[in-house]
Amino acid sequence: MLNKFARALFTRLLTPVARFLLRIGLGPDAVTVIGTVGVCLGALVFYPLGQLFWGTVVITVFVFGDMLDGIMARLQGRKSTWGAFLDSSLDRFGDSAVFTGLAAWYFLDGDHHLTAMLSMACLVMGSIVSYVRARAEGLGVQAAGGIAERADRLLLTLVVTGLVGLGLPRMVLTVVLGVLAVLCLVTICQRIVAVRRQLLVATEQPEIAPDADADPLHEWTPDPDGVPAREAARVLLVNQHDEVLLIHGYDTDDSAHHWWFTVGGGLEPHETPAEGAAREVAEETGLRLDPAELVGPVCRRSAEFRFISKTVRQREEFFLARVDGDYDFSAEGWTDIERRTLGEFRWWSLPAIAASEETIYPSELCAILEPLLAGGWDGNTRHIN
């Protein structure tokens, strides 16, 4: 819940700090490690000594590193699988330290075993919440969300712990930890139900004829280095709220590999990029655009990525188009391969893109759109990664 409503706000607040850290030569991975070490020290040094308020202050300062590293990576225009893995792994250390530090205090000098036991229950339940999501993604389905996500648990625990350190009755913390343990259990059940629903839907999908899309890469021609390649055009569809339309995509041979990307695709023979862009918009969304009304190309790139378990190369030109966000998009024009690899449409605001932990292409999307939305296209075509 907090991820959905507050992450965009904190992203705007922390972006100047992220820019400063990059200027002084600090990288996202370093910030991840520093933040985790700070959280662990604050929890495992201050909490066992009964310094609940000051421990919370130290932890809160370093917790922001958990957001800063992602913002820094996006400002650099890169999406690192290693960085995401490192961040997720070290988060478990920080969370465990917070609840272990509380348990240590209340098992020892704090002398209230019920509070200590509830703190350990939150540690265990929180770990299972995270495990369910990780295991689901390993199966190629989603298990994010729920009534008590990590940010919700951490925020509530830190706020109440800090207030107890300032004199709030200890019983308040006991009750909150008990409620959190129950909410974690509810979240686990919510995620398990979501996974079961997705897997049932997947098994009920009709089988595709063996010869359908027998060669999904038939439009791709090998470059001199042997990598299948094609020319393509994409469109940045922006609505009246300055939100851009993205589509959820999946790899047919690796369901755990998924991403969000802009509308568009490969060009047909003798087709101009603008004509191909308009055609792709019509096929993928049902929306008809006049190629002459497309703005750009505002940017271009040559991208290599994994598709159908192969490395492919796509040379893309991006155009800008303003559309009505209330349009009812249609997937009737999708091919069989698109029906197997494409999912939902979603409008994304720039803060939502900057705050998201999802893989979004192109990685420089925010940097591309910011000047276009602020002052329009200046006539120059940017080269992006």
Please state, in angstroms and rounded to a whole number, the distance separating the CA atoms of residues 93 and 45: 14
Q: Which of 66, 69, 87, 91 is catalytic?
A: 91
Facing residues of 301 across strands?
316
Tell me how far apart the alpha carbons of residues 92 and 150 are, in angstroms, rounded to a whole number: 10
Q: H helices of 240-328, where?
A: 273-285
Q: How far apart are CA 191 and CA 183, in angstroms?
A: 12
**Residue tagged 């965009």 (tokens):** 8
326 a catalytic residue: no
DSSP 115-162: HHHHHHHHHHHHHHHHHHHHHHHHTT------SS-HHHHHHHHHHHHH
Look up residue 140 and give its two tokens: 């190629």
| CB-CB contact of 129 with 75 (8 Å) | no
149 burial (CB, 10 Å; 0-12 / 13-18 / 19+) is: buried
Name which of 364, 378, 355 is nearest 79 in CA terms. 364
Q: What value, to the nearest 5°, has the Cα angle with vertex 352 and ends 242 and 38? A: 150
In this structure, how many other beta carbons lie within 10 angstroms of the beta carbon of residue 167?
Answer: 7
Residues 180, 156 contacting (CB under 8 angstroms): yes
Q: Give the pairing type, strands 228-238 and 221-222.
A: antiparallel
Phi, psi of 367 (to 5 degrees): -65, -30
Catalytic residues: 91
